[in-house]
Amino acid sequence: MPEKTEETRAAELRDQVVNELIADGAITSDAVADVLRTVPRHLFTPEASLEDAYSAYNAVITKRDGSGSAVSSVSAPQIQAFMLEQAGIRPGMRVLEIGSGGLNAAYLATLAGGAGEVTTVDIDPEVTDRASRLLKENGYPQVRVVTADAHQGVPDHAPYDRIIVTVGAWDIPPAWTNQLTEHGRIVVPLRMRGLMRSVALQRVGDHLFSTSARICGFVPMQGAGARESRVLLPTGTDEIALRFDDGLPTDPSLLDNAVRTPRVEIWTGVRVKRGVPVDSLQLYLATVLPGFCTMALEPALDTGLVAPYNKRFSLAAVSGDGRDFAYVTPRPAIGDDTHFEYGVHALGPGATGFAEEVAEHLRDWDRDHRDGPGPRITVHPAGTPDDRMSAPADARIIEKEHSRIALSWSTVPAADQDIPHHTTEEEGE
């Protein structure tokens, strides 16, 4: 039997990855399935082997900075597929992609067809040179490639029916909303309290409503839209880092004595099957805990002061008086090796009370929200008064430089029922 050619093998791998993504729900339409079967992904990822190029859940890193951190990549097929589904590209649409790689622009151009227009923009000339070359070499010369800081969008070719952002964004600048058509949609990996979700947002006037949200991971935005989180190292230990996305507590020194108190542990009875994502739990705690943050532990300095299941990432929070901190951690459920049980560990003079407070939120999520649609997310311009925001009174408001983002777990107001909403919980890259 003659050996398979590279193209034959690549076609088989494309079919394989599409079938896999249909099975796990990332692909739900014939249009997205067809485009992933058709466009030769491996030709846009020459850095990778065929098998690595067509790995369903792994990105291909295309550029690193001096410290070795990824600054540009071709996202995993799973991520690209569900973002294309979120976007709902139809023939004839005008589309802006923020963050270039070449491959995704080829997908967009195929979906938009000959009557559509695709513009892709990136701040890094090395990235746009690469994208431009690969697009031309592989039959997509119609894609417009622009080198610019996309914080201001690309006004020369606006308005856009769809804007697809393929880098992690801390905020949504006014230009992005203003450059959408009246009923246009933006799909953006949005960072909310340190948690990133690919959110599909529909424009209604000067604000945006979510239609879906998916867990994801992306390299961070560069340029004017870059925003670093703040890290707090409680005095008395070098092993614990608390990371805050929207600024440190008012008086970080109040935590100085927390690590000198015994650790309190409370187990909640809340069980989750192993391997099942807890996306909605993460967002729920980020919504209801004012001092929400994430905790990472330096393994080389681990003294056992804290004992998280995941040393690199745990949901955490600082108490209202700033003197205690707690983190959420699972353990194998007693007598059931198919499930985890969630608990709360806390340190500080008021650790017992704070641990109980966080544990009660876990139980509230388990009782009222774990099987629900997830939060309603709305985005209004910064400065919009509370009574002018299209969000329930109980919504958690996250203040950004250019926007006010509201997360609500209440029933969607009747006036917004014409805009569909769902959240799918899947692991991202």
What is the per-residue pLDDT for 394? 82
User: Whole-model pTM?
Assistant: 0.91
| 124 CB-near residues (< 8 Å, 6+ apart) | 63, 71, 72, 147, 222
What is the per-residue pLDDT for 411? 54
100 is catalytic: no
Nearest alpha-carbon partner for 343 in 357, 317, 316, 362: 362
What is the per-residue pLDDT for 4? 74
Nearest alpha-carbon partner for 241 in 228, 252, 232: 232
Domain 6-225 has CATH 3.40.50.150: yes
One-letter amino acid identity for 296?
Answer: A
Q: At 91, list the tokens.
A: 């023939």
Q: Are 21 and 81 in contact (CB under 8 A)?
A: yes
User: Which H or E element spans position 20?
Assistant: helix 6-23
Antiparallel, parallel or unpaired: β 117-122 and 94-98: parallel
Provide the 3-class DSSP secondary structure of residue 128.
helix
> What is the DSSP code string of 318-358?
E-TTSS-EEEEEEEEPTT-TTEEEEEEEEESTTHHHHHHHH
- Angle CA 237–250–317, to nearest 5: 60
Alpha-carbon gap, residue 360 to 374, rounded angstroms:
18
> What is the DSSP code string of 37-49?
HHS-GGGG-TTS-
- Domain boundaries, given as residue ranges, for the chain: 6-225, 230-368
Catalytically annotated residue among 75, 100, 314, 408 = 75
Q: Is 279 left (phi over 0), alpha (psi -120 to 50) or beta?
A: alpha
Using CA atoms, how far residue 210 sits from 137, 169, 170, in Å, is 37, 16, 16
What is the per-residue pLDDT for 416? 40
**Tens-digit pLDDT profile for the chain (429 aa)?**
556 788 899 999 999 999 999 999 999 999 999 999 999 999 999 989 999 999 999 988 888 887 777 778 889 999 999 999 999 999 999 999 999 999 999 999 999 999 999 999 999 999 999 999 999 999 999 999 999 999 999 999 999 999 999 999 999 999 999 999 999 999 999 999 999 999 999 999 999 999 999 999 998 999 999 999 999 998 777 899 999 998 899 999 999 889 999 999 999 999 999 988 888 999 999 999 999 999 999 988 888 999 999 999 999 999 999 999 999 999 999 989 899 999 999 999 999 999 999 999 999 999 999 988 889 999 999 999 998 998 888 899 999 999 999 999 985 443 343 333 333 333 222
